Chains A and B, each alone.
Chain A
Amino acid sequence: MTEEQADALANVKATFTEHVVDHEEAADGGLLVIVRQVVIGDGWNPALIDLAVKLQVTFPSSMPYPFYCAPGLARIDGQTFSQVQPNVDIGASVMRTQISLTVQGQLQFDTANETLGSRFVAVIAWLRSPR
């Protein structure tokens, strides 16, 4: 794990003190940060997910993007959002729901004003009120 990934992981743990925050190191130097048992609202099936993001070894020069949860995430009313693709092969035949959310027009991950924890919060907020 790089120094920058370790700092970001610590920040997520400090942000989500009520949740279990896990991590998995990937062979390519990436770090998967997982916030367990996140409530995203009754409009989704399931309403409780493990929300993850893979921080590339280049983080924070690369964005914390995309976010993932278990495959098959769907709206109860059948509505679809282009940002949520329920069955994506993220490599090595591993299937996940891919949540492609980022800040529009942002060219850099703005570490002066944003943390990985705050990005998780923003993604959860969007899932609770998707648009």
Chain B
Amino acid sequence: MSRWTGTILERDYDALHQQLFQPDHDEHAAFLYAGLVETLCGRRLLVRRVVPVADHEFVPSNRGAYRQIVPRAVARAALECDELGLSLLWAHSHPASGDAVDFSGDDLAAHVYAHPALIDMTHDRPVTGLVFGENSVAGEIWAAGEEPTRLTSLRVVGRNLKTLTPRPCQVGAAAERFARQVLMFGAPGQQILREMTVAVVGAGGGGSLLVEMLTHLGVGHIIVIDYGVVDETNLSRIVGAAPADVGRLKVAVAHDLATRIDPDVVVDAVYGDIAYVDDARRLLDADFAFLATDNILSRYAFNLVCHQFLIPGVQVGAKVTGGNAGGIELIHVMERPVTLQDACLDCSGAIPADALTREQLSPEARRAQGYIDGDDGADIEEPSVITLNSISTSLAATDFLLMAIALMPKETSLEASAYYPQERELRSRAAVKRPNCRFCGDGEKSVLARGDLKALSLKPGARPSRAVEAMPKAQLLAPVGAVARARDFMAEVLRRHGDDH
């Protein structure tokens, strides 16, 4: 039986919590409309909209229970949800419940009564009942042709990441190697990191530093994706790469680096390019993702996947701009959090349409364009230096750490940061979220939280593997093994959480 989890934006969870836990200490209700995704590790509901149920439509029950949502409100929500192509969830509160919560017998009876009809009304999409305690949630998912299944957890994502479960999780002792970190964020914080799956896209200068830092922090499962091969010029900045690694896949070097630091870390080294659908889907089990590549197409793909599947992340990069008269005009380092509720990479101007278009043209077509703007159509190698990479990746990994263990204050701005080494100055780069943005906007056409209910607008299939076929087998980590490792990792996390499905 497939495991079910959920993800909700922090802003939506705050609104939902405010609706469900009111000063009257009575039960309240809301509908949630959600996208869906099926991954290697199970199925996930992606909450896209919260619709409060007005008090006059949450009335004393005429079927023996405490309260019920009036039928016209249920029908209205089901029809609206179906029109949007989303899955329906209905939630209510048990105000006296704190860290543990469960359905009453009346709640479960209501599922038996209502869910089959609601599944019919929403074209066989799953229907979910949720009950919230102050810091907990239980859920029961009804999918067409399947037995009802309990929700394992609900992840709240935004400036801080939080996981709600039906009952508190057991906290084990942290390994001695993390003793100094535990002094900062405690054994529960260390356990949170150990149970996380974090993706790193790009295993070059920036990505290798991230893999190293994440492993030292104690992240339990790292997915690293790249299609590049180490060459002589990479040795100045890929952490863990030595002359003997020239010719090896960058992800293989990253794998070796991480497992040398911590033999217990699970690393999936994936030959791939997230501009392709199949490769991008390798990100879907990540709780958090980093982007450390230097092309606009992967920024587009990262922004798309993060928003469509509610995966928070950070993009990092460094830029050295030459002046017209030679020499260096500007050095700056960027770190752009993708919180899913603030301005996205597109809104912040990090995905310029002209550059995105140009990258996808043939060299000849670019050269023809160059008759207008003076471009010779050739790919330009950008300067890259380890010290600059280390600034952006340190900023990004620190943001991740504070978000992961819920130490990021709500009032802290998570705008992009730009560091100018020649001025020794770190500046915030404010960006305005466009309401009609196709990634982060709330409009009907936005991809936000639609999951598999919208096809990914990426290149079909996986990146062609000619380069891989030429590599010695020993350098490759079979994707099949990676799938098994990901499942094993998730099973172990769930076992520690007392999940016995």
Q: Which residues from chain A sit less than 8 Å from chain B, CB to CB?
A: 2-4, 27-30, 56-63, 65-66, 82-83, 85, 88-91, 98, 100, 102, 106-109, 111-112
Contact size range, B: 20 to 34
Q: Which residues from chain B sit less than 8 Å from chain A, CB to CB?
A: 297, 300, 346, 349, 351-354, 356-357, 360-362, 364-365, 368-369, 371-372, 436, 438, 445, 454-455, 457-460
Count of A-B residue pairs with CB < 8 Å: 86
Q: Which residue of B lies closest to A83 (CB)?
A: B372
**The 3 A-B residue pairs with the shortest CB-CB distance in the complex, in nearest-first order:** A85-B368, A89-B364, A62-B357
B368 & A98 in contact (Cβ 8 Å cutoff): yes
The residue from A30, A58, A90, A106 contacting B365, defined by CB atoms under 8 A apart: A90
B369 & A66 in contact (Cβ 8 Å cutoff): yes
Contacts of A27 in B (CB 8 A): 460
Closest approach, in angstroms, between the C-beta of B133 and any C-beta of chain A? 38
A88 & B297 in contact (Cβ 8 Å cutoff): no
Known: A57-B457, A91-B365. 13 other contacts (CB 8 A): A3-B457, A28-B459, A29-B457, A62-B357, A63-B354, A89-B365, A90-B364, A90-B365, A98-B368, A100-B372, A102-B354, A107-B352, A107-B353
Given contacts A62-B356, A66-B368, A98-B365, contact A29 B458 (CB under 8 A): yes
The residue from B364, B371, B459 contacting A82, defined by CB atoms under 8 A apart: B371
Contacts of B371 in A (CB 8 A): 82-83, 85, 100
Closest approach, in angstroms, between the C-beta of A7 and any C-beta of chain B? 8
A2 & B457 in contact (Cβ 8 Å cutoff): yes
The residue from A28, A56, A89 contacting B357, defined by CB atoms under 8 A apart: A56
B365 & A4 in contact (Cβ 8 Å cutoff): no
Q: Which residue of A lies closest to B362 (CB)?
A: A91
A60 to B437, CA, bound (A): 11
A66 & B351 in contact (Cβ 8 Å cutoff): no
A60 to B418, CA, bound (A): 28
Given contacts A57-B459, A58-B300, A58-B360, contact A66 B353 (CB under 8 A): no
Closest approach, in angstroms, between the C-beta of A4 and any C-beta of chain B? 6
B436 & A89 in contact (Cβ 8 Å cutoff): no
A88 & B365 in contact (Cβ 8 Å cutoff): yes
B356 & A112 in contact (Cβ 8 Å cutoff): no
Closest approach, in angstroms, between the C-beta of B277 and any C-beta of chain A? 8
B357 & A29 in contact (Cβ 8 Å cutoff): no
The residue from A30, A100, A109 contacting B353, defined by CB atoms under 8 A apart: A109
Contacts of B300 in A (CB 8 A): 58, 61-62
Q: Which residue of A lies closest to B369 (CB)?
A: A100
A29 to B445, CA, bound (A): 20
8 A-B pairs whose Cβ atoms sit less than 8 Å apart in the complex: A2-B455, A28-B459, A28-B460, A57-B459, A58-B457, A90-B364, A91-B365, A108-B353
The residue from A62, A85, A90 contacting B362, defined by CB atoms under 8 A apart: A90
B364 & A62 in contact (Cβ 8 Å cutoff): no
